[in-house]
Structure 1
Amino acid sequence: MATAPGGYAERAARLPGAVVWAKAPPAGGAGAGLVLPDGCMDLLWSEGRLLVAGPDTRAYAPGGPPAHWAGLRFFPGTAPACLGVPAHEVRDRRVDLADLWPAPAVRRLRARLEAARDPAAVLEEVALERAERAGGPDPLLRHLVAALDAGRPVAATADELGLGARRLHRRSLAAFGYGPKTLARVLRMQRALALARGGVPFAQTAVRAGYADQAHLSRDVRALCGRTPGELLRLGG
């Protein structure tokens, strides 16, 4: 996987539902764009730093000078079992991996990454190794993501899964970093932006994504991202 200057590239990972990605500095040294909430967590490598990006409840604006990045983006709800940290402990945070893993393990991974031609592939290998030891994520949570991403109501989904509201909320906090209602909002926003990027008018996008109307779409996207849908599309988000 290669990126052009200022470019971004990704591919499906061997870890189910995950994505391996790499990003080069933007042309002309411009700052990186917004990172929008998507229900995911990432394992990141950049300029000698190993980080875990927790689940976002609002858009994140990366700071610092332009840099090369490599990452593995986990399917929603699957990172905590692999990384060994409950999602709510890293919500809206970028945390040094050394604060979460034993120092020897981090040193070994850093050495592998510094010697690698494709750091993203190393992150993928490490995630696969840890996922195998962890035994995989809770299958009920994968069903929850699928149901909410299809627009199913939270209460009805909880009933279908045989979980009470409080139990579902506790498990969601550990897996996603927030409750199922927030997860549903984030997934709905991502559905809407995908439709809008594909050229669907905003009024139709709102209905198809599950909003009451276009005004509801605009309010919710602004609440999560600080921008309207139109502004995000112009920014390339």
Structure 2
Amino acid sequence: MIELALIGIGTGNPDHVTAQAIEAMNAADLIMIPVKGPEKTELAELRRTLLTTYLKNPETRVVEFDLPVRDAVTTSYGATVADWHGAIAEAWETVISDTLDPGTPGRVALLIWGDPMLYDSSLRIAGILGRRIPLRPRVIPGITAIQALCAAHAIPLNEVGAPVVISTGRQLRDHGWPDGAETVVVMLDGECSFRTLEPEGIHIWWGGCVSMPQERLVAGALSDVGAKIVAVREELRARNGWVMDIYLLRRMSRKP
């Protein structure tokens, strides 16, 4: 039986790594680091930095592997993602079988951006892998990008007694503003999909590389700051080779 620890590491800021996460890193026999393309090199380096800071167990092996690239959507988005998840599960299985002694229990860990329960595929991929080898997943929660964004702007996530919709850029582009929502948090958006909305009455709180040294924050009426966010995002991407961003939209009867 392999124990697979999915360790939430927040935004990658070492200060956001919990004591439970550090304990799980040092309990692992194997820590896998995915590498995917030139623009992901710095993301792998952030993981290496965390391990340099917190991994003190000399017996823990750290192995990097090429993360399969998702194919372009040709039939359906769901089918394309399912095929991609299957390829990642196969890559995990290869690393585990090549590194650990066959037939013996082992502890394997992956460092997951944010928290594994929120817009991350690791738990689904672990489910696929569990159909191939004896596997017991374990989740170590981390600070989510939503928490980091609200903290950075010093704002509440929700209005008093009101619900919040957490969605993606694709959903916002394809379906517009969610029915009945006052507050929408948008993740996984590489296209600044807020530009597809009629901006009147909408306030936005945006963050790029939140909680990292290169953090940039922009907030204001969407009609006033939308173009600025697009420019700042492009600047961050050009400077770092990558950018992780998130934003909160709220329909306002008055400015905050």
The structure with the larger Rg is: 2
TM-score range, shorter chain: under 0.3
Higher share in helix: 1
TM score, norm. by length of structure 1: 0.21
Q: Which has the higher strand share?
A: 2
